[in-house]
A and B are shown apart, each in its own frame.
Chain A
């Protein structure tokens, strides 16, 4: 079984400050890891994904994440927050060894508030 824990259900940052969202996963097999963003009343948009290539993954909108196997972590960062980054962020894990279909297991989400 796989699981994801996102530390902090709410994060408040000032515009221009570093954004750091924490994600720890549990998986008995090599994982694929994802970060999705959700704006109010919308579906999920993929920010970035880790698929066993480079451990530092760059995504859209200036976000990046680093896979650390020893820490079972996949934290999301952005050097400088923008007002448009206010949204909810979800970390997710899937099983890289499944041949047919990769259901995602999501964390509980972190809501980001950006203060001017």
Chain B
């Protein structure tokens, strides 16, 4: 068990540029979640995959955001035409439904700074 990994750990970009983040879940986990955490706040849910299907999206996920999980393994989160308000930590979590608990294990996050 190597844990959830995310790449890159830090990203600095200029307003208007596109960025893409990657998340590799724990290998047997079939569920994958994305959250966003702004400074001084708790994480907020963005979207959720079960295998390759994106089953739920938050209203926070504007049309500039898109997430994919091809083949039900790693996932990418793309932000187009970044805005300064997109600056945040983007967290990925994964889980496996052995029981009804569905405990989520988090990666280290990608910190995005939009200048």
Contact = CB atoms under 8 A, between A and B. Distances in A.
Nearest to A6: B42
A24 B45 CA distance: 19
Interface stretch (B13-21, B64-72, B73-81, B106-114): B106-114
Contact of A103 (B41, B42, B48): B48
B102 A106 contact: no
Interface in A54-92: 90, 92
B105 interface: yes
Nearest to A45: B106
Contacts of B40: 9, 108-109
A41 B43 contact: no
In which size bucket is the chain A interface? Answer: 20 to 34
Contact of B50 (A9, A45, A101, A109): A101
B100 A101 contact: no
Contacts of B41: 108-109
Contacts of B103: 34, 46, 49
B51 to A, nearest CB: 11
B33 A44 contact: no
Given A36-B106, A90-B43, A101-B56, A44 B91 contact: yes
B44 A106 contact: yes
Given A32-B101, A43-B4, A43-B107, A107 B42 contact: yes
Interface of A: 4, 9, 32, 34, 36, 41-46, 49, 51, 90, 92, 94, 96, 100-109
